[in-house]
Amino acid sequence: MENSKDEQIGFHKGSLATLAKEREELSRMVNIVEQLMQMHVSGLKELGVDLEQMAQQQQNSASNVSATSNKSMDELLK
């Protein structure tokens, strides 16, 4: 049985409203994670750890070994 056009419109509008709320929540979560990461970066800077310098050194050494073996910030922190 085929849904009426009005039912289909209602379904799509409801779906968009739900997805918009989920996107809003996801954005809020990303902002919180970013704030927490910045707090930890600041804490490391206060302790004398320069993550930017470490990343640059890793990138330079990785480019000397292989162009495909660049390490991300996550790998530096392990």
Residue-wise pLDDT tens for the chain (78 aa)? 567 999 999 999 999 999 999 999 999 999 999 999 999 999 999 999 988 888 888 888 887 765 445 567 677 776
Which pLDDT belongs to residue 3? 79
pLDDT score of 72: 72
The CB density around residue 76, as the number of other CB atoms within 10 Å, is: 13
Reference 40, options 69, 73, 1; nearest CA is 73
* DSSP, res 3: P
Enumerate residues 6+ apart whose C-beta is below 8 A from 11: 3
Position 20 scores a pLDDT of 98
* Global pTM value: 0.59
